[in-house]
Amino acid sequence: MADTTPRLTVPDLLEFKEEGRRITVLTCYDALFARLLDGRVDVLLVGDSLHQVLGGHDTTLGATLGQMIYHGAAVVRGSRRSLVFVDLPFLTYQVSVTEAVRNAGRVLQETGADGVKLEGGVTMRETIGALVRAGIPVMGHVGLTPQSVHRLGGYRVQGRGRSAAQRLLADARAVEEAGACAVVLELVPAALARRISRQLAIPTIGIGAGPGCDGQVLVLHDMLGLNEGFAPRFLKTFADLGPVVRKAAEAFSREVRDGRFPSRSHSFD
Ligand code: KIV
């Protein structure tokens, strides 16, 4: 019988927080992985990390709106139950509020996604408010914000020390007050992330922010062990697929060279 379970909704995220049910988020960039993950995690995040993970770049800065829309639409096509959020890439929402609304609107219209994610706290208050007033669900992102990697001086823990912690708390509060439905806390000391999670009514989704958040996000290719050599402290690899892929490629080449593949059973009469 066909599975008729409906797709999660944005208000479900808030309900999960109220019920104390932890929210699970994985990045997803294509329809194939979306089909595998669908219904097994609450949210599929089409992160601009795809520029690094798939594109081999050092930062997310070069991701374009066109790329995000292409990958976002693929993930929506491959899923029926998980929520889909798409990252707004660098310079598509920072220049003006009007541009932000137009670009985020395009993402929703052209992908069918449920919402967008953008980086920044206090400085993004007005933008988040305008998007939410336009009917666009927004997930915030504070702490280590990869689109500001050059200003921050690298991919390092944020919010250490009293004044930095106060600023981070103010950022998270601003995101909530502007109307966001959730906020990612990236590379934040665990005690601070727990404090922020307790103070906010919207769910916090941590990455490198300890166990006190309302949910957790990881980059899919990292947690599957496909991004070999990338082993930050916060990452747990839940599968080791790198060697599996390498062995399969070697077996394919061996069998083709030996004349064992394709066999008769793989051929047409
Ligand atoms: O782009 C991304 O994948 C992200 C997650 C790491 C939160 O923003």
User: Do residues 60 and 70 touch, judged by C-beta distance below 8 A?
Assistant: no
92-130 in b/e form (b: 16+ CB < 10 A) is bbbeeeeebbebbeebbebbebbbbbbbbbbebbebbbb
User: Do residues 213 and 193 touch, judged by C-beta distance below 8 A?
Assistant: yes
Determine if ligand 1 sits within 6 Å of the CB of residue 25. no
pLDDT value of residue 126: 98
How many whole angstroms from 207 Cα to the centroid of ligand 1? Answer: 9
pLDDT value of residue 5: 83
Helix (H, G, I), strand (E, B) or coil at 169: helix
User: Do residues 61 and 67 touch, judged by C-beta distance below 8 A?
Assistant: no
pLDDT value of residue 215: 98
Determine if ligand 1 sits within 6 Å of the CB of residue 52. no
Determine if ligand 1 sits within 6 Å of the CB of residue 48. yes
Pick the CATH number of 10-238 from 3.30.565.10, 3.20.20.60, 3.30.10.20, 3.40.190.10: 3.20.20.60
Averaged over successive runs of 10 residues, the pLDDT of the chain (269 residues) comes to: 84 98 98 98 98 98 98 98 98 98 98 98 98 98 98 97 98 98 98 98 98 98 96 97 98 98 96
Helix (H) or strand (E) holding 111: helix 97-111
How many whole angstroms from 237 Cα to the centroid of ligand 1? Answer: 16
Determine if ligand 1 sits within 6 Å of the CB of residue 49. yes
Domain boundaries, the chain: 10-238, 240-269
Ligand 1 atom showing the smallest separation from residue 218 Cα: 6
How many whole angstroms from 101 Cα to the centroid of ligand 1? Answer: 21
Helix (H) or strand (E) holding 167: helix 162-178
Q: Which of 110, 176, 186, 255 is catalytic?
A: 186
pLDDT value of residue 191: 98
Distance CA 219, CA 45 (A): 9
Over residues 176-217, the pLDDT tens digits come to: 999 999 999 999 999 999 999 999 999 999 999 999 999 999
pLDDT value of residue 81: 98
